[in-house]
C-alpha cells in the first residue's frame, strides 16, 4: 500500500549498535537542517532537498523495517534536523506501529515540534553546541540557544531517558566553555552527558588532532564533569 507521509530521508543505516543505547537500530538520516555548524559531519543533509533521486523513500524504509523485525528492535530518526520534518509525528507512529522503539537525535530546534512527538519517543540524544554566548557562532549564525533550552526542559519534564552531548571543536570551544556548559547542564538536572571528540572535517585545514585531543583531555575538566553527572564519558 502506498505510504503518504511527508518525510525526506537523505540516507539510512540499516544496522547500528551505537546510535541508541542498548538497542540494535536502523537509522533514518532525515534531509534538511536549519543550522550551519562549522563542524558538521553531515553537510550533504543540510539542504532541505537532496540532490538527485533519494535512495530511500519512507515507503521503502517501512518495507525494510517490516522485513527486519526480530533482527532490529529500534529505529532512530536522526539528521539533519528531524524536527524540521512536517511528517515526523506520522512517521514515528508508523514505525512504532511495526513494534519498534523510537530514538530521536536532535539539536532541539523547534520545541513546538518536539512536544508533539515526545510522547512516542523512547530515547533521545540532544546535541548541545556550547555555552549561550557562543551558540550563534556554533550554529552558523542562528540564535538557537533558547530553543535548545526549551527542548531540554521538555525532555527533563517528560522523564524519558535521554543524553546530552557536545562535539568538541577547538576552533569554537575552549576548556572554560566546557566548564560553563557542564555547570549549566548540571544545574538543569541533566543526568547523562558526553563529550565527543571532533575529527576535522575535510574543509577544515586549521585544526590538528592534538588540538582536538587536548580539549577533551583537560584533567580538571574531566574530573569536574565526572562528578557532575550520573553518567559521563569522553567519546573518541
From candidates 33, 65, 126, 195, binder to ligand SF4 by CB under 6 A: 33
From candidates 6, 14, 15, 36, binder to ligand SF4 by CB under 6 A: 36
Determine the Cα–Cα distance for residues 61 and 27; give it in Å rounded to an integer: 10
Name which of 109 and 193 has its Cβ closer to ligand SF4. Answer: 109
Q: Considering only the stretches 40-48, 91-99, 194-202, 205-213, report the one whose residues sit in contact with ligand SF4 under the rule CB under 6 A.
A: 40-48
In the complex, minimum distance from the CB of residue 39 to ligand SF4, in angstroms, rounded to a whole number: 7
From candidates 3, 16, 21, 42, binder to ligand SF4 by CB under 6 A: 42
From candidates 10, 80, 82, 170, binder to ligand SF4 by CB under 6 A: 80
DSSP code, position 15: E
Determine the Cα–Cα distance for residues 114 and 83; give it in Å rounded to an integer: 7
From candidates 23, 30, 31, 79, binder to ligand SF4 by CB under 6 A: 79
From candidates 19, 81, 169, 192, binder to ligand SF4 by CB under 6 A: 81
> What sections of the chain are H helices per DSSP?
58-67, 88-97, 111-117, 135-138, 145-158, 175-188, 209-215, 219-228
Helix (H, G, I), strand (E, B) or coil at 159: coil
Q: Considering only the stretches 16-24, 32-40, 149-157, 183-191, report the one whose residues sit in contact with ligand SF4 under the rule CB under 6 A.
A: 32-40
CA distance to 14, 42, 57, 70, 158, per residue, from 26 (Å):
5, 17, 14, 12, 24
Binding site residues, ligand SF4, CB under 6 A: 33, 35-37, 40, 42, 45-46, 79-81, 107
Amino acid at each position: 500500500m502506498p505510504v503518504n507521509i511527508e518525510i525526506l530521508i537523505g540516507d539510512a543505516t540499516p544496522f547500528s549498535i551505537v546510535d541508541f543505547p542498548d538497542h540494535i537500530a536502523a537509522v533514518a538520516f532525515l534531509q534538511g537542517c536549519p543550522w550551519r555548524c562549522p563542524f558538521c559531519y553531515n553537510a550533504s543533509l543540510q539542504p532541505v532537498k537532496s540532490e538527485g533521486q533519494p535512495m530511500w523513500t519512507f515507503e521503502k524504509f517501512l518495507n525494510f523495517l517490516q522485513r527486519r523485525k526480530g533482527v532490529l528492535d529500534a529505529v532512530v530518526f536522526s539528521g539533519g534536523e528531524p524536527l524540521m520534518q512536517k511528517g515526523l509525528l506520522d512517521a514515528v507512529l508508523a514505525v512504532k506501529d511495526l513494534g519498534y522503539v523510537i530514538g530521536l537525535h536532535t539539536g532541539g530546534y523547534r520545541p513546538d515540534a518536539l512536544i508533539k512527538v515526545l510522547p512516542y519517543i523512547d530515547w533521545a540524544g540532544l546535541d548541545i553546541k556550547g555555552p549561550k554566548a557562543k551558540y550563534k557562532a556554533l550554529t552558523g549564525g542562528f540564535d538557537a540557544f533558547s530553543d535548545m533550552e526549551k527542548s531540554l526542559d521538555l525532555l527533563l519534564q517528560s522523564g524519558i531517558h535521554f543524553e546530552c552531548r557536545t562535539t568538541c571543536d577547538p576552533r569554537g570551544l575552549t576548556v572554560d566553555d566546557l566548564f560553563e556548559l557542564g555547570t549549566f547542564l548540571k544545574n538543569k538536572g541533566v543526568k547523562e552527558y558526553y563529550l565527543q571528540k571532533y575529527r576535522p572535517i575535510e574543509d577544515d585545514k586549521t585544526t590538528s588532532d592534538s588540538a582536538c585531543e587536548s580539549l577533551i583531555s583537560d584533567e580538571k575538566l574531566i574530573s569536574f564533569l565526572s562528578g557532575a553527572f550520573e553518567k559521563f564519558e569522553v567519546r573518541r
